[in-house]
A and B are shown apart, each in its own frame.
Chain A
Amino acid sequence: MNTLESNTINPDKQHLIIIGNGMVGHHLVEQLVARGATSRYTITVFGEERHLAYDRVHLSEYFSGRDAESLALSTAEYYAEHGIALRLHESVTAIDRDSAEVVTEQGRYAYDRIVLATGSYPFVPPIPGNDRAGCLVYRTLEDLDEIRAAAEDAATGVVVGGGLLGLEAANALRGLELETAVVEFAPRLMPMQVDSEGGELLREKIQSLGVQVLTERATQRIEDGEASRHRMVFQDDKVLEADLIVFSAGIRPRDELARACALEMGERGGVVIDDQCLTSDPAILAVGEVALWNNSIFGLVAPGYQMARAAADTLMCDALEGDAERFQGADMSTKLKLLGVDVGSIGDAHGDRTPGARMFRYLDPLKQQYRKLVVSSDGKRLVGAMLVGDNSVYDSLMQYYANRIDLPDDPASLILPSSQGAPALGPDALPDTAMICSCHNVSKGDVCASIDAGAGDLAAIKGDTRASTGCGGCAALLKSVVDHELESRGVEVDHSICEHFAHTRQELYDIVRVEGIKTFSELMRTHGADSSHGLGCDICKPAVASILASCFNEPITDAAHVGLQDTNDTFMANMQKNGTYSVVPRIAGGEITPDKLVVLGQVAQKFDLYTKITGGQRIDLFGARLEDLPAIWGELIDAGFETGHAYGKSLRTVKSCVGSTWCRYGVQDSVGMAIRLENRYKGLRSPHKIKFGVSGCTRECAEAQSKDIGVIATDNGWNLYVCGNGGMRPRHAELFATDLDDDALFQTIDRFLMFYVRTADRLQRTSVWRENLEGGLDYLKEVIIDDSLGLGAELESQMQGVVDSYECEWANAISDPEKLKRFRSFVNDSRPDPDIIFTSERGQLRPA
């Protein structure tokens, strides 16, 4: 019946059939919709896979937590809404050009035009044994399901092929906890992208991650193994055993339909197309990885998208006003992170396609970085580059290359370590033609045009041009161009927190404190931006909630504040990926009695929770359902626990070492001090989370120098370190004061933390705040230690106010039936959410 509907004959409309619903096939659909093609064509899309087009570029994330739904590029509703018939799980088996019909197992469909978007398939070398069970490929969601299933009872895995996709597959196997090896036929890894020096470096780096790398190995056959399921035999009769083998030895175009209906083909495969994406039969077009243009196949998504745009224009040709876009080849430069190793390749990276090219090389064997420039014979232009181990200069090199910008007199300065002062290429140096986003074909000129047409901020420009909404690789460049262009037009780049307040966080903090404003609605009424519609948003609400809490410390679940909180604060627990929560009671200083440990175990057993020791010296109980949180906390509070604020932008943990009480080297009681510090500052809400560490001597077993506040015992007292950070960008804390006694230590920390709370931006850790602080550490010492602003007493009394008003938020909530109403999964049904499903692993449950 569907067929009937979708094929209902409309005499005015032509039939367009798109074969293949992959990345490019779907982009073509979007481009056609944008051009109004649905009023001219009745469009039918055939996809062989069960899934609607998904983001193959990020396929590997399927193994690191993303599911098919989140990788999907669109929805069935989108297709339905635009009247496009989507026939998934239905392969086209033939194109009958004589009768102008497309044939599938389900039927025959008449066409006027066809677009082939069938992509490619992984090449499996013709080795005897390559079809054994457990010999797999890496291309589709289904392939990944098979790999996951096969990995379940496997210990070792081998990837055949050490190119880009091979290394990505190797990373996936490693993630599945297989002992992993990569076998490459060429003498080095990624032979297409790097030379022998770069390849060597890459090999070292990858081997140091525990992945075995075997190069110059041609597999002769695969047979039964002894210790493992398979044994691979190489040309020199050496062998390698593995339970699972993934072939990733290159891709081949899926051109079988075109071949069978006698379209013009390339010598080594691929459907020949011209600039308009037309094949040798003008009724048939081809786009994406199946298409061969100028004797090249383009195995990347950006060129495929360019073809899709050209094909859409071709199909709408006479309806177009402006010039139709033509496909004019594409750049194969790539910037990748493989197994955590940066690899970049620009243009003629080997320098073997440019007569007279000159090379500059820089190799740092200690930092394991390799950079190479390929420069034209006159030294003026960059024609290629190769980077291994550090891609930080990729963006600027790419601009020199793509926009043919004159090189500096000493081109080597571009790849020497930055201490030499490599000239960075600012956004003003880019010509208007400079490509900013290659996924959506947005140049600097397009960005400027969008600004001139009225787009006044990054979000508007993104919405307008779609720049930075594809692979995301251009986000930083786009932002710098946008900021620069706005500033050069005299637009003050707006530092407002969001559209609702024309103020920074610091300004809002001062307003709240000075005017004594106690609720969000009052702040909005008195200081909201003129353009604001009064509700606020997920940026300003939590920020103001945090400011109100730092100033007045009223319970965050009070009716006036609850709507402002992030979900974690609302439910005083951290939401996990399946909608359940984790529970982290405070264990000050990491010290816990056996009795309390037993209670944690009992509660976890009773409510069936996954337990784990955290990196912050406490115990996390995962998998709690919303409706169970109050009962769980009831039992914990009865046993003397209180909330650990693992959810808040607030004090997290004070990590301690065992100190002088037990340790033969300890010079002070570090555990005792850690507990006192944690109890003093618990509950303090701040711009970002705060962590402390206290070590009992200079051996520093508590890693205090990686914390916002680090305290290290000395013979005479305590040394105080500030503004350290682990996390994404580690920073060592800096020595702030030495040999403090207990009172001076608390006084200094009181002042320091309150000053941070007052002046930092939202979500700015102390480390980033410190780096942006004008005057640096010296200024901070003047304000905090020398009291140069005369703020000391005020900061201390403000801190004392927070300390005195502390109340365990969970204790407050469970004594209030009104607040507890919130902890129901459904207001009209007491059954738990049936979509929360667990399986078990290593004897505990985990999300299915």
Chain B
Amino acid sequence: MTTATAAAKTMTQAWQHLCTRDDLVPHSGIAAWVETHEGPAQVAIFYIPGQEQELYAIDHHDPIAGANVIARGIIGDLKGQQVVASPLYKQHYRLGDGQCLENPGLRLRTWPVCFKGEAVMIQA
């Protein structure tokens, strides 16, 4: 069983092409579809040029509002942690690991993303 899972993981957790740098909006977010091992998911991509980590991928689904809107939130930093504020009810989610700052029981999924030349690649 262990081997099977491991194989499945490596198979689905591959780097996928998502979009190009041109599709991104600096200092803001866009949304995209991505295939994950749990099925298709809507992902929000935030682009913060000039920062140590420039790209983040986080769930686009806002679990509190029940709507797909996270990419349309304002990004910022609180006490040094990079966050996005849900545009509907303003909870803050840490970009790095999806943790909701207001609700310890809530965490959005996150995925590794990077640039490969002009392409935006995601591992899911």
Interchain CB contact under 8 A, A541 and B105: no
Q: How many residues of A contact B (CB 8 A)?
A: 44
A535/B82 in contact, CB under 8 A? yes
Q: Is the CB of B107 within 8 A of A77?
A: yes
Q: Are B72 and A541 in contact (CB under 8 A)?
A: no
B113 in the interface (beta carbon within 8 A): no
Chain A residues contacting B67 (CB-CB under 8 Å) are 577-579, 835-836
Asked whether, in the complex, the Cβ of B76 is within 8 Å of the Cβ of A559, the reply is: no
CB of B14 closer than 8 Å to a CB of A: no
Residues in A neighbouring B63, C-beta threshold 8 A: 69-70, 75
- State whether A828 touches B74 (Cβ < 8 A): no
The CA of A578 and the CA of B62, in the complex, are separated in Å by: 10
**SS of B interface (majority):** strand
Q: Report A-chain residues with C-beta under 8 Å of the C-beta of B79.
A: 499
- Cβ of A829 within 8 Å of any chain B Cβ, yes or no, is yes
Task: Report yes or no: A827 in contact with B32, Cβ–Cβ below 8 A.
Answer: yes
Q: Does A39 contact B (CB under 8 A)?
A: no
At the interface, yes or no: B19 with Cβ under 8 Å from chain A?
A: yes
Closest to A847 in B: B67
Decide if A833 touches B42 in the complex (CB within 8 Å).
yes
Interfacial chain B residues near A562, Cβ < 8 Å: 25, 27-28
Collect the chain A residues with CB atoms within 8 Å of residue B33's CB. Answer: 826, 828-829
Q: A826 touching B78 by the CB < 8 A rule?
A: no
With A69-B64, A822-B25, A829-B32 known as contacts, the answer to whether A533 contacts B87 (CB < 8 A) is no
- Do residues A537 and B31 form an inter-chain contact, with CB atoms below 8 A? no
**B residues within 8 A CB of A74?**
105
Contact among B30, B69, B77 with A537 in the assembled complex (CB-CB below 8 Å): B77
CB distance from B104 to the nearest CB of A (A): 8
Closest-by-CB residue of A relative to B19 is A827
* B10 CB to nearest A CB, Å: 23
Interface status of A821 (Cβ within 8 A of chain B): yes
Nearest chain B CB to A165 CB, angstrom units: 26
Report the contact-size class of chain B (Cβ under 8 Å from the partner): 35 or more
Residues from chain B with a CB closer than 8 A to the CB of A499 are 78-79
The chain A residue sitting closest to B67, CB to CB, is A579
Chain A, residues 535-557, CB within 8 Å of chain B (1/0): the string is 11110111000000000000000
Interface residues of A in 66-89 (CB under 8 A from B): 67, 69-70, 73-75, 77-78
Chain A residues in 8 Å Cβ range of B64: 69-70
B30 touches A575 (CB 8 A): no
Q: In chain B, residues 8-54, which have Cβ atoms closer than 8 Å to a Cβ of chain A?
A: 18-19, 23, 25-28, 30-33, 42, 45, 48, 51
Interface pair B18/A828, CB less than 8 Å apart: yes
CB–CB A826/B32 < 8 A:
yes
Bound-state CA distance A534–B50 (Å) is 11
B75 adjacent to chain A (CB < 8 Å) = yes
Query: Across the interface, do B106 and A75 meet the contact criterion of CB distance under 8 Å?
Result: yes
Q: Report the bound CA distance from A348 to B86 in whole Å.
A: 44
Closest to B29 in A: A563
Say yes or no: A827 contacts B30, CB within 8 Å. Answer: yes
Contact of B74 among A75, A542, A824 (CB under 8 A): A542
A570 on interface, CB distance cutoff 8 Å = yes
Which residues of B have CB within 8 Å of A500?
76
Q: State how many angstroms separate the Cβ of A705 from the closest Cβ of chain B.
A: 33
CA distance A538 to B85 in the complex (A): 7
Task: Give the docked Cα–Cα distance between A615 and B111 (Å).
Answer: 44
Q: Does A833 lie within 8 Å of B68, measured CB to CB?
A: yes
A464 → B minimal CB distance (Å): 13
Given contact pairs A533-B77, A578-B67, A822-B25, enumerate 10 new A-B contacts (beta carbons under 8 Å). A70-B66, A73-B105, A75-B63, A499-B78, A535-B82, A537-B83, A537-B85, A538-B90, A575-B72, A579-B68
Interface residues of A (CB under 8 A from B): 67, 69-70, 73-75, 77-78, 499-500, 532-538, 540-542, 559, 562-567, 570-571, 575, 577-579, 821-822, 824-829, 833, 835-836
6 A-B residue pairs with CB within 8 Å: A70-B63, A70-B65, A537-B77, A562-B25, A822-B25, A828-B23
